Structure 1
């Protein structure tokens, strides 16, 4: 039986258990967890860019 077919059968039997098993598998892979967290972290460069945008908007409002 193919892995895909087996996964679909497990999904049909108990959707919550299937999702739980997938989530546990992902959580056990440190690299996946780290990469998902890193995408949501602002860098110093991001913050500097936002500050510049805010400064420009302030200047436009004062003009």
Structure 2
């Protein structure tokens, strides 16, 4: 698990299709909508906007991300 990920890190995560890889685009510290889903991010509970090589975006907590090589 990646406890401290930062913008630009290459990461992997489990998804409904098995698994995905990409990079961290932004640290989210306030609530927002992504692809019609509410992301309940806050300063005390941040989430990370990740983007696959295909350009798809999702938000995940740091615990769900693993640094990739």
TM-score range (shorter-chain normalised) is under 0.3
Higher CA-based Rg:
1
TM-score normalized by structure 2? Answer: 0.19
What is the TM-score with the length of structure 1 in the denominator?
0.20
Structure with higher helix content? 1
Structure number with the higher strand fraction is 2
